[in-house]
Amino acid sequence: MKLNAAVLGATGMVGQRFVKMLSESNWFEVECISASKRTAGTRYRDNALGFEYSDDILDMTIEDTTKNILKDHDIDIAFSAIPADIAGKVEADLAEKVAVATNSAAHRMDDDVPLLIPEVNPDHLGLIDVQRKKGWEGSLVTNPNCSTIVMVLSLKPLYDAFGIKDIKVATMQAVSGAGFTGVSSMGILDNVIPYIGNEEHKMQTEPKKLLGSLEGGKIIDASFNVTALCTRVPVIDGHTESIFVELESDPTADEFTEALRTFKGLPQELNLPSAPKNPIEIRPVPQPRMHRDLGNGMAVTAGRIEKVAPNKFKYVVMGHNTIRGAVGASILNAELMAEKKYL
């Protein structure tokens, strides 16, 4: 039996991809879609512009996200793609009664909320037990920022095998990361924009929580340093990142590459439906147009690996920002929650 899902913020770019991927899932059934008051009460077909959908989906009526959708629908889990300024209260209210898997940044750094990449820190789901001690029947699980996910998937095997002291990263991020109306064509065509609001802060803080340890119901952050410079480039989908990493030990370039190539996580062991066979693909020169769809968009691609000094390496990693970095990340989180009996 499929789990009944609600999609919050269903008319935006990420929300529409949620509806598309969930409608094709063997684990979830789209029971309810919601958006702003502006579109509430209208049919989805009059507002969905990004993908092809079945008539059953297109004929659904959009609900008002700010109202209690649980009164009229039997929901097992809500997937959230609503803006952070709205998400804070809406998601917390829902989580008192039902599981919420969110792409929003509103609760990512809350002490009792898992910031989750299933291949990286599945044990952080233990924070759900902390949430339930305050009376919640449901739960709230977040996925990281899209650029953070791409980077940290590549850092996890390095962290485990060699230890990490310092990370410097420069990103080249696709325009889809800003949503349908986030960057004007006149702003991005023939241009690079070396600024994305609050993005660098997210990349410098979220990895420490993700690679931290769960001890006594609290996350102890990892101790390495992260310095990020984030840019927007005229690419539709696929964030590319140039990473310079200083390790605690001194592997060879072959050992470094093999750690990435052979990396597997709990989703691969459990054979979760959204999990790629290989979380990290190795290619000589990772490129969005060539490699963003590897693993159905859920794998990241690493290459240009070079040892530049003892303990120091540079490499490039690229991943699909709206699948692995957003919608697919939340769905994989929900699959792990279901497998671990948190739904």
pLDDT one-digit tens code per residue, 126-183: 999 999 999 999 999 999 999 999 999 999 999 999 999 999 999 999 999 998 888 9
Q: Is the pLDDT of residue 279 over 90?
A: yes
Q: How far apart are CA 137 and CA 133, in angstroms?
A: 9
pLDDT value, residue 180: 83
pLDDT value, residue 75: 96
- The one-letter amino acid at 65: T
What are the helix and strand counts (H, E) for the chain? 11, 14
Q: Are the C-beta atoms of residues 235 and 288 closer than 8 Å to each other? A: yes
What average pLDDT does range 26-30 have in this prediction?
A: 97
Q: How far apart are CA 24 and CA 295, in angstroms?
A: 16
CA-angle at 117, arms to 112 and 122, nearest 5°: 65
pLDDT value, residue 181: 82
pLDDT value, residue 1: 82
Q: Is the pLDDT of residue 89 over 90?
A: yes
Q: Which residues contact 282 (CB under 8 A, 6 or more apart)?
A: 257, 260, 261, 301, 302, 303
pLDDT value, residue 197: 94
Domain map of the chain by residue range? 3-145+327-339, 146-320
Q: Which CATH architecture has domain 146-320?
A: 2-Layer Sandwich (3.30)
Q: Are the C-beta atoms of residues 12 and 179 closer than 8 Å to each other? A: yes
pLDDT value, residue 342: 95
296 pLDDT band, cuts 50/70/90, is: very high
Give, for 304, the enclosing helix (H) or strand (E): strand 300-309
Q: Is the pLDDT of residue 208 over 90?
A: yes
What average pLDDT does range 292-300 have in this prediction?
A: 98
Placement of tokens 């039902």 in the chain: 98
Q: Is the pLDDT of residue 50 over 90?
A: no
pLDDT in tens, 94-134: 999 999 999 999 999 999 999 999 999 999 999 999 999 99
pLDDT value, residue 49: 81
Backbone angles phi, psi at 179, to 5 degrees: 85, 180
Q: What's the predicted TM-score (pTM) here?
A: 0.97
Q: What is the mean pLDDT of the chain?
A: 97
Q: How far apart are CA 22 and CA 29, in angstroms?
A: 7
Placement of tokens 């480039």 in the chain: 233
244 pLDDT band, cuts 50/70/90, is: very high
Helix (H, G, I), strand (E, B) or coil at 246: strand
pLDDT value, residue 314: 98
Of 28, 177, 18, 27, nearest to 102 by C-alpha is: 18
Q: How far apart are CA 180 and CA 152, in angstroms?
A: 26
Q: Which of 35-49, 176-190, 215-229 shows the highest mean pLDDT?
A: 215-229
pLDDT value, residue 182: 86
Facing residues of 240 across strands?
Answer: 172, 318
Indicate the class that CATH gives domain 3-145+327-339: alpha beta
In the 8-state DSSP scheme, what is residue 61?
A: B
Q: Is the pLDDT of residue 10 over 90?
A: yes
pLDDT value, residue 66: 81
Active site positions, annotated: 146, 239
